[in-house]
Amino acid sequence: AQSVTQLDSQVPVFEEAPVELRCNYSSSVSVYLFWYVQYPNQGLQLLLKYLSGSTLVKGINGFEAEFNKSQTSFHLRKPSVHISDTAEYFCAVSPIKAAGNKLTFGGGTRVLVKP
């Protein structure tokens, strides 16, 4: 079984400041890692995913994440946020050898960007 912990439920940040959202996971098997964003009254949109290779993954809208296998972490960062980045962010994992899709999500981190 897998579990995902997002260490901050809410993160207030000023516009143009950097932000880091922390994600730790637990799994007895190897997993793929994902970050999704949910804007108000919308579904989820993929920001980035780690499958293999370089541990630094770049995604859309200037976001990047670093996979750390020894710490079982996959933290998301953006060097300079915009008002439009106000949303809820979800970290998720999926077992590599699973047949098909079965995402396990963290509890989410609400990011509020202040002017």
- What residues between 69 and 108 interact with other proteins by CB under 8 A? 90, 92, 94-108
- Cβ atoms within 10 Å, residue 108: 18
C-alpha 28: how far from its chain's center?
A: 20
**Contact region with other proteins (CB under 8 A), list: 14-22, 39-47, 60-68, 71-79:** 39-47
Task: Please identify, using beta-carbon distances, which residue of 47 and 113 lies nearer to other proteins.
Answer: 47
Q: Are strands 73-78 and 64-68 parallel, antiparallel or unpaired?
A: antiparallel
Residue 2 binds to other proteins (criterion: CB under 8 A): no
- DSSP assignment of 35-99 equals EEEE-TTS-EEEEEEE-SS-SEEE-GGG-EEEEETTTTEEEEEESS--GGG-EEEEEEEEETT-S
**Contact region with other proteins (CB under 8 A), list: 17-25, 34-42, 68-76, 79-87:** 34-42
Binding mask 42-61 for other proteins (x = CB under 8 A): xxxxx--x-x----------
Contacts with other proteins by CB under 8 A lie at 32, 36, 41-46, 49, 51, 90, 92, 94-108
